[in-house]
Amino acid sequence: MCGIIGCVAEEPVAGILLEGLKRVEYRGYDSAGMATISDGRLGVRKGVGRVSEIEGKQRLSTMSGSTGMAHTRWATHGGVTDENAHPHTSCRELVAVIHNGIIENYLPLKRALKARGHKFRSETDTEVISHLLEAEYKRVRDPLQATRAAVKKLKGQYAIAAMFQDRPDVMTGARKDAPLIVGVGNNVNFLASDVLAFIGRTDRTIFLDNLEVVEITKDAVKIVGPDGRRVRREPTQVAWELSDVSKSDYAHFTLKEINEQPRTVVSASVQDPERVERFARALKRAKSLYITASGTSYHAGLLMKFRLNKEAKVRADVVVAGELKEHTEFMGKGSVVVALSQSGETADVLEAVKEAKRHGAKVCSIVNAAGSTLARESDVVLLLNCGPEVGVAATKSFTAQVVVANLVVDAVLGKKRPNGFDELSDAVAEALKCERQVKDLVNEYRDRPDFYFVARGYESPVALEGALKLKELSYIHAEGMPASELKHGTLALIEKGTPVVVINPSGPSHAESLSNAEELKARGADLIGVSDEKDEVYRHFVRVPAVQPKFMPIVEAIPLQLLAYHFAVARKNNPDYPRNLAKSVTVK
Ligand code: F6R
């Protein structure tokens, strides 16, 4: 997973590239680099570190040239070293390439290229592309044709952008199972892994399809399909605005995004009723129904399944996306797969969808990024409308998913357009007021090595989500589970002072959860209750407002998100960029 931005303009591009690179840094932040062509020479500067560090060390902003590309890396192939940072050049530095993805056949290609005298400088699979491209370019002397010929030899996933020293007016790109889009401006065109890279300059976007190859100049875009034929596609206007991708007055994107939720739960609810109806109809008619997603989106999927089963009496299986291919025995024509994804580019989800389609299943998706691969490959799509989520941890996208999933389930239940979103928005705003209390909890528990989250029934996925959020932001070991499961093993780990968050709204499972809480307390646990109903069993109590039961996970998620965020800050982690993680997991 890496961030790509390339730009051909009339003016110097270093500043434009840096601005874009910082916005796609959430996609990877091991190392970064930039290449430009100036006075007929291709220059590359790169190194290990965050964009701001490389910018300072390598003085990226001083690179001249009106054609350039930049990359932020999340290492998947080859260690985090200066040499492995992108861009990669060919032997004679005639060609520079940036890449996101994995080239599966890089070894045989590398051997063959070495045998032909090519010298490699890095351990990456990407460098193979630059040598291949150089060889093809020498042969055909046409950037677009050379790119087509080179990518035909690649197996695996890729989104690439390439520059050619003797053609400073041109940049080429290609994609297969990894995102690459075109930004169309006035006397400036872009290639990028997502809209955020160029949103400050243009909102006109062309989404490339798989296996398409593109050539941009400052004022033209030429797309060629896998059959070599010219593809004509008009740009679409994306709804995201520059203000959506600034931190405003917040210290971190994650905190800003947590605080946006009173608004985003409402914007997520604004859906075309006809489309919701189509989605619901597909679910009702499905011969077999699967819900699939990864990480936080999977937790939203679990919530969706619960109501589909219990209230709508529609049978659904939920399978993590990376495992769906192992669960296809009953999948076929007439099956429906519901895929949830913030990015719409998660490789596991895309693979699951491909597998579903191979079996003849219909795909209905709930996704944030309009124009993403998932959105374009689905039969019915509902968008989350919560704006770009830059913080690596999913926060507002989770609550938006819960809203949209609930709209679908309500439609399956034949309910008229549900309301109550203004009240939900107020409740989320109220829940956010727990921040002071959360900070006190962080002070008390910041050095504890383990945290547990328990809940029952509909809220069980919220326990999983609380634990996931804490792990990824604070690096504290955390586990979430149904409270009923404790006694089957985990109770052995509870000792004096072990913090356990008990998510326990008033309702059918309240009393049972309280019994589990008592059990935990008897073993010395420090209980942190998250509920609309207080009980003396809790050592600490975070009150969340009572809302309709189907929306309780939304208000319960708020203190858990804040807890993870403030733990990260207290432990001096950067909550926007947790170690080893990237926002959009575009590799399997
Ligand atoms: C957790 C998190 C990840 C994502 C997962 C799926 O905070 O962000 O677990 O939820 O990688 O990503 P999407 O929803 O983009 O498919």
Say if CB 261 and CB 428 are below 8 A apart.
Answer: yes
Interval between CA 30 and ligand 1 midpoint (Å)? 19
In the predicted model, what is the mean pLDDT of residues 321-344? 96
Cα separation, 297 vs 24, whole angstroms: 21
User: What pLDDT is attached to residue 249?
Assistant: 86
Please give the full DSSP string across 475-527, using - where no structure is assigned: --EEEEEEGGGGGGTGGGG--TT-EEEEE--SSTTHHHHHHHHHHHHHTT-EE
Interval between CA 575 and ligand 1 midpoint (Å)? 15
Counting atoms of ligand 1 from 1, which one is nearest the CA of 374? 16
Show the CA angle centred on residue 196, arms to residues 470 and 53, nearest 5°: 70
User: What pLDDT is attached to residue 562?
Assistant: 98
| 349 pocket-lining for ligand 1 (C-beta < 6 Å) | yes
Q: 455 vs 257, 566, 576, CA distance in Å? A: 25, 22, 27
Interval 252-271: pLDDT, tens: 999 999 999 999 999 999 99
Counting atoms of ligand 1 from 1, which one is nearest the CA of 295? 9
pLDDT > 80? residue 119:
yes
**pLDDT-wise least confident of 146-160, 231-245, 288-302:** 231-245
Residue among 346, 402, 468 whose CB has most ligand 1 atoms within 8 A, to mutate: 346
pTM of the model: 0.84
Question: 96 - beta bridge partners?
Answer: 89, 163
User: What pLDDT is attached to residue 581?
Assistant: 67
Rounded mean pLDDT of the chain?
A: 94
User: What pLDDT is attached to residue 256?
Assistant: 95
| 258 pocket-lining for ligand 1 (C-beta < 6 Å) | no
User: What pLDDT is attached to residue 588?
Assistant: 65
CA 264, 265, 268, 272 dihedral sign is negative
Which residues are part of the catalytic machinery? 2, 583
pLDDT > 70? residue 465:
yes
| 254 pocket-lining for ligand 1 (C-beta < 6 Å) | no
247-418 has which CATH code?
Answer: 3.40.50.10490
Q: What percent of the chain has pLDDT over 90?
A: 85
Interval 399-412: pLDDT, tens: 999 999 999 999 99
Interval 136-155: pLDDT, tens: 999 999 999 999 999 999 99
Question: 214 - beta bridge partners?
Answer: 173, 223
Interval between CA 187 and ligand 1 midpoint (Å)? 36
Q: Which residue, by CA, sits nearest to atom 11 of ligand 1?
A: 295
Interval 497-544: pLDDT, tens: 999 999 999 999 999 999 999 999 999 999 999 999 999 999 999 999
Confidence of residue 582 (pLDDT cuts 50, 70, 90): low
Cα separation, 37 vs 438, whole angstroms: 51
Counting atoms of ligand 1 from 1, which one is nearest the CA of 343? 15
Interval between CA 422 and ligand 1 midpoint (Å)? 27
Question: 291 - beta bridge partners?
Answer: 318, 338
pLDDT > 80? residue 580:
no
pLDDT > 80? residue 417:
no
Counting atoms of ligand 1 from 1, which one is nearest the CA of 585? 11
Interval 47-88: pLDDT, tens: 999 898 999 999 999 999 999 999 999 888 788 999 999 999
| 343 pocket-lining for ligand 1 (C-beta < 6 Å) | yes
434-575 has which CATH code?
Answer: 3.40.50.10490
Helices (H), 538-581: 552-570
| 130 pocket-lining for ligand 1 (C-beta < 6 Å) | no
The identity of residue 23, as a single letter, is R
pLDDT > 70? residue 106:
yes
Cα separation, 175 vs 179, whole angstroms: 7
| 341 pocket-lining for ligand 1 (C-beta < 6 Å) | yes
Residue among 296, 298, 365, 573 whose CB has most ligand 1 atoms within 8 A, to mutate: 296
| 372 pocket-lining for ligand 1 (C-beta < 6 Å) | no
Which residue from 491, 489, 501 is spatially nearest to 540, judged by alpha carbons?
501
| 342 pocket-lining for ligand 1 (C-beta < 6 Å) | yes
User: What pLDDT is attached to residue 561?
Assistant: 98
pLDDT > 70? residue 549:
yes
| 145 pocket-lining for ligand 1 (C-beta < 6 Å) | no
Confidence of residue 416 (pLDDT cuts 50, 70, 90): confident
| 295 pocket-lining for ligand 1 (C-beta < 6 Å) | yes
Q: Which residue, by CA, sits nearest to atom 3 of ligand 1?
A: 295
The encoded tokens of residue 99 equal 């890449």
Interval between CA 399 and ligand 1 midpoint (Å)? 13
3-238 has which CATH code?
Answer: 3.60.20.10
Interval between CA 34 and ligand 1 midpoint (Å)? 28
Cα separation, 72 vs 99, whole angstroms: 10
Interval 163-193: pLDDT, tens: 999 999 999 999 998 889 999 999 999 999 9
Say if CB 426 and CB 455 are below 8 A apart.
Answer: no
pLDDT > 90? residue 359:
yes
Which residue ranges make up each domain of the chain?
Answer: 3-238, 247-418, 434-575
Which residue from 544, 396, 521, 539 is spatially nearest to 459, judged by alpha carbons?
544
Confidence of residue 92 (pLDDT cuts 50, 70, 90): confident
Question: 45 - beta bridge partners?
Answer: 34
Interval between CA 522 and ligand 1 midpoint (Å)? 36
Residue among 27, 292, 294 whose CB has most ligand 1 atoms within 8 A, to mutate: 294
Interval between CA 394 and ligand 1 midpoint (Å)? 6
Cα separation, 320 vs 336, whole angstroms: 15
| 346 pocket-lining for ligand 1 (C-beta < 6 Å) | yes
| 395 pocket-lining for ligand 1 (C-beta < 6 Å) | no
Interval between CA 443 and ligand 1 midpoint (Å)? 28
Peptide bond into 235 cis (omega under 30): no
| 294 pocket-lining for ligand 1 (C-beta < 6 Å) | yes
- Beta strand spans in 248-324 (E): 289-293, 317-320
User: What pLDDT is attached to residue 371?
Assistant: 84
Interval between CA 406 and ligand 1 midpoint (Å)? 19
| 585 pocket-lining for ligand 1 (C-beta < 6 Å) | yes
CA 266, 272, 273, 279 dihedral sign is negative
User: What pLDDT is attached to residue 409?
Assistant: 97
Counting atoms of ligand 1 from 1, which one is nearest the CA of 349? 16
- Asked whether this chain's domains 247-418 and 434-575 adopt the same fold, the reply is yes
